[in-house]
Amino acid sequence: MEGMSARLPETSDSKIAPSFFKDPYYAKFFELMPFRVKQVLLVSSPYDYFILEEDGRLSHLLNTVYKQRDLGYIPTIYLATSYQEAEELAASSPFDLVILVLRSFDKEALRFAEHMKRLHQGMPVVALAFNGPEVFSLIKAQRKDAFDEIFLWQGDGRLIVGIVQLIEDKFNAEHDVSLAGIPNLLLVEDSPDFYSSYLNLLYEMLWELTASLLEEKLPFEEKVIRQRGRPRLHLATTFEEALSIYKKLKGHFLGVISDASFPQNGQESPTAGYELIKYIRSQEPHLPIILQSSENSVTGWAKELDADLILKNSPSLVFNLRPILFEKFGFGDLVLRGNNEKEVARIPSLQSLIYVIDTLPPESIYSCYKRGCLRRWLLVRTEFQLASALEGSEFQGLKNPEDFRQKLSSLLNEDRVKRQVGKVVPYSRRFSVDQWHFCRMGGGSLGGKARGLVFFDKVLSLNLERAQFPGVKIEIPRTLVLGTDIFDEFLETNKLTLMAYEEKSDIRIANAFINASLPPTVLGDLRNFIREVRTPLAIRSSSLLEDALYHPFAGIYLTKMIPNSFLDLDARFLSLVNAIKLVYASTFFRNAKSYLEATNNKIQEEKMAVIIQEVVGQRRDKRFYPDISGVAKSYNYYPFGGAKPEDGVANIALGLGKTVVEGEASFTFIPKFPRIPQSFNNIEELMAQSQRHFYCINMQPLATKAYTEEDQYLLKLSLEEAEKDGVLKYLVSTYSQDEDAFMMAF
């Protein structure tokens, strides 16, 4: 069977598109791990390969593990059953890793490994031995010149996964630390039979812990790229190797796990672990360290060196390791203690820290910072920018605990604001008004209109230089979106679907929806929301088909403005809930059904999300409205004043945008040439096309149950009322009868 070859099934190397555009924070995550083990050359006899595949189920295991972790690629394994065949394959294909499966001492294996390294610029080569004595023979046979690592096959295919990850970590660590400050773990162990099983247990634990710390409701894509920031693991089998790794990555370790006895200066040294930990303690006094040993006699060392002790031969080894990783290495809650070491606070997440930072004892949070536990806690949560900021001069120079707490509070809140811009954050009842930017309730789609707003918010956040417009705030109004899953549940629970499809009367549909009930959990969230928010709100449609490119649905569905000014919480809550249900009902109104039919869409395919958005404007006595609102279009079919169609056009009006949307008289101008007014044949025509009325929200509405009316809380007033409010000075032109001309406001 000499020369026989086989190949495991190929898998796609799909990559996650960097849909965070050019956001520098997320761009770094995409640049992590530049070295990937995508193609592995496995040199083995057919029989040994059969054992690996049957016992280890390699192909199935690799597919399962890599898909579960959403790494974007799955290594492909090529099999060669002779060194000659392996060299031929390596000459024709670019491999990232070579694994040699050995059963006996083989000088030819050493020659092949050294040849591969010379020929392919340091290509990593790993030896996988089938028995313990063979491993030790390889170690004595100058293995450093031939093999990067040596492992012992123990029948668990996950070892191959661990080997791949270890090689990737080894080659990526310096790059990833330099790029984003990725944290590291150092394992010092010289027993191949121990680390061959222990290594993959550590990796599985790191993946599990990292995944559990990423917020449950984070967008899928963000979770995936953040998982690339898991701690890198390094294996050292000698004192010199461990010291070299530590010095190379000093300051970027979560902690060290070290054996007590391993080679030093070429010979087995029973005190090598003690010497290594003593040196590390002199450099980083607060770095978490675990001393692992088969001997109880090292208990004194552990106490002297302030290290946690784990017995290697204990059947509960892994169970003993986990709580130490939680408590000391940053994977658990952030525990703050007082002067007497009594626990004063326990913080599970970054969001929780933001909520309580201003109430924490300054001395406790400052002490946690000085010991490095705050930085480690942030690092394992892939909050690298925050962890890096703690190392900056602004924090390093702080000596007063209260000053530190205030500075940390400012940092956390600034970071939160930056993170939320351009993102949809799951709504939480713990949000305060100041923390609300763009949130969602429920699953499903956000709908066309909400998606457009999120996109525009993202574009603004990444491309708008605030310094270009001092004193001007350009942003999307604060927004909450109810996903389409809530709409589906509302219809199903209240058995409204068939009636909504078949009913012809808009008022009957509206009444049926108003008298139905929203899901209980949504009602609880909405009540909490309306308790915190006291500004006027626009409840707007955002259907699946809305804002389509060729069949826009502008004006098809309803938008209801509510004053949200009642002193009674129940009244404000009722007006919000009924407005949402009215927008839902408008999905099935006669106008919407007719438009869907005319555009070759089916009503059964339409679903409604709802946007709850702050109304921009000011309160003037008993009414609320903005100075200006309007609509801008990127293409102008009727340009004037020398403008081109692609220069666009804008229509603006005093008060709410209802004036423009419903086609009433408004002011038209070209944004590129704002001082060139639209031309008219005469003054009379200009006067006829000028705005005479405006819309506003009635902030003191009369008691009414007209919940099915879209304009229930709106007022249409004359310009004289706006003049009383003092808003016309810079908005209107003045007609001079003597000169029979308008004097422009600008």
Instruction: Please indicate, yes or no, if residue 202 is contained in any of the structural domains.
Output: no
Q: In what helix (H) or strand (E) does residue 168 lie, and over which residues does it extend?
A: helix 158-180
Give the strand pairing for 438-441 and 479-482. parallel
Picking from 610, 628, 653, the residue at the C-terminal end of a domain is 610
Task: Find out whether 708 and 514 touch, Cβ atoms under 8 Å.
Answer: yes
Per-residue pLDDT at 3: 35
Residue 594 has pLDDT above 50, yes or no: yes
Q: What is the mean pLDDT of residues 458-479?
A: 81
The token duo for 448 is: 């066309």
Instruction: Please indicate, yes or no, if residue 124 is contained in any of the structural domains.
Output: yes
Q: Are residues 89 and 158 in the same domain?
A: yes
Instruction: Please indicate, yes or no, if residue 305 is contained in any of the structural domains.
Output: no
Instruction: Please indicate, yes or no, if residue 273 is contained in any of the structural domains.
Output: no
SS3 496: coil
Per-residue pLDDT at 583: 97
Instruction: Please indicate, yes or no, if residue 250 is contained in any of the structural domains.
Output: no
Q: Are residues 564 and 593 in the same domain?
A: yes
Q: Are residues 31 and 170 in the same domain?
A: yes
Q: Are residues 637 and 518 in the same domain?
A: no
**Tens-place pLDDT, residues 688-709:** 888 999 999 999 887 778 888 9
Per-residue pLDDT at 137: 64
Residue 13 has pLDDT above 50, yes or no: no
As to burial, measured by CB atoms within 10 angstroms (0-12 exposed, 13-18 middle, 19+ buried), residue 163 is buried
Instruction: Please indicate, yes or no, if residue 288 is contained in any of the structural domains.
Output: no
What span, in angstroms and rounded, lies between the C-alpha atoms of 185 and 287? 11
Residue 4 has pLDDT above 50, yes or no: no
Q: Are residues 567 and 458 in the same domain?
A: yes
Mean pLDDT, the chain, as a whole number?
86
**Tens-place pLDDT, residues 237-260:** 999 999 999 999 999 999 999 999
Q: Are residues 367 and 437 in the same domain?
A: no
Q: Are residues 393 and 434 in the same domain?
A: no
Picking from 135, 154, 176, the residue at the C-terminal end of a domain is 176
What span, in angstroms and rounded, lies between the C-alpha atoms of 461 and 543? 25
Q: Which domain holds residue 491?
A: 422-610
Q: Are residues 588 and 544 in the same domain?
A: yes
Of 694, 567, 698, 562, which is closest to residue 620 (Cα–Cα)?
698
Of 612, 455, 446, which is closest to residue 544 (Cα–Cα)?
446
Residue 67 has pLDDT above 90, yes or no: no
Q: Are residues 470 and 415 in the same domain?
A: no
Instruction: Please indicate, yes or no, if residue 231 is contained in any of the structural domains.
Output: no
**Tens-place pLDDT, residues 253-284:** 999 999 999 999 989 999 999 999 999 999 99
Instruction: Please indicate, yes or no, if residue 285 is contained in any of the structural domains.
Output: no
Residue 20 has pLDDT above 50, yes or no: no
Picking from 547, 576, 610, the residue at the C-terminal end of a domain is 610
Q: Are residues 584 and 639 in the same domain?
A: no
Q: Are residues 375 and 464 in the same domain?
A: no
Q: Are residues 562 and 457 in the same domain?
A: yes
Question: What is the 3-class SS of 16-68, one letter each residue?
Answer: CCCCCCCCHHHHHHHHCCCCCCCEEEEECCHHHHHHHHHHHCHHHHHHHHHHH
Q: Based on the structure, what is the number of domains in the chain?
A: 4
Tell me which of 716 and 192 has the higher pLDDT.
716
Using a cut of 0.95, tell me whether the model's pTM lies above it: no
Residue 292 bridge partners (DSSP) = 259, 310
Q: What is the mean pLDDT of residues 413-438?
A: 75
Q: Residue 137 maps to which CATH number?
A: 3.40.50.2300
